[in-house]
Amino acid sequence: MEKKKESEMGVRRPIGRREPEFSYLRPPEARSTYQVGDIVEVYCDHEKNKTRVRGWIKGIVVQVDNKMVAVQFRQNVFLTDGWMVPDRILWYPVDSDAIRPAEHKTRRKKTKDEIPEY
């Protein structure tokens, strides 16, 4: 019986160490300045006094990754084609002009029954 070569048997040999496709002077840094729980303002279509308007509205960051930021709102928000978003969460690119940190106003003393507005 003939002896088969290793290449015919499907045995793989390690080729050696591969160099990375790109070389960096330093590793890439996280570009996101947003963190979960941050209060932000977003430019979008939303309801104000039962009327649909386009403007800045406050929301809370609920998820962040390398490229996108998810913001949840207390009011109804709409997509640009008119559909209401059922879970009130919109996704934005991290470097979008339509999202910015909320301006901090002076805080007033809260009462126990008051619900905070975001």
- The domain of 96 spans 39-101
In-domain check, residue 107: no
In-domain check, residue 76: yes
Q: Please, what sign has the CA dihedral across residues 28, 31, 36, 37?
A: positive
pLDDT at res. 16: 64
Contacts of 46 (CB under 8 A, 6+ apart): 52, 53, 54, 55, 57, 73, 75, 76, 77, 78
pLDDT digits (tens, 9 = 90+) for 32-42: 588 999 999 99
- Which residues in the chain show pLDDT less than 50? none
In-domain check, residue 1: no
pLDDT at res. 66: 86
Contacts of 103 (CB under 8 A, 6+ apart): 41
Cβ count near 2 (within 10 Å): 4
In-domain check, residue 79: yes
Angle 113-116-118 from CA coordinates, rounded to 5°? 165
In-domain check, residue 61: yes
Question: How many structural domains are present in the chain?
Answer: 1
pLDDT at res. 103: 82
Give which of 67, 56, 62, 64 is closest to 99, Cα–Cα.
Answer: 56
pLDDT at res. 72: 96
In-domain check, residue 19: no
* One-letter identity of residue 3: K
pLDDT at res. 15: 62
In-domain check, residue 66: yes
Give which of 50, 49, 46 is closest to 71, Cα–Cα.
Answer: 46
Angle 86-62-40 from CA coordinates, rounded to 5°? 95
In-domain check, residue 84: yes
Tell me the whole-structure pTM to 2 decimals.
0.62
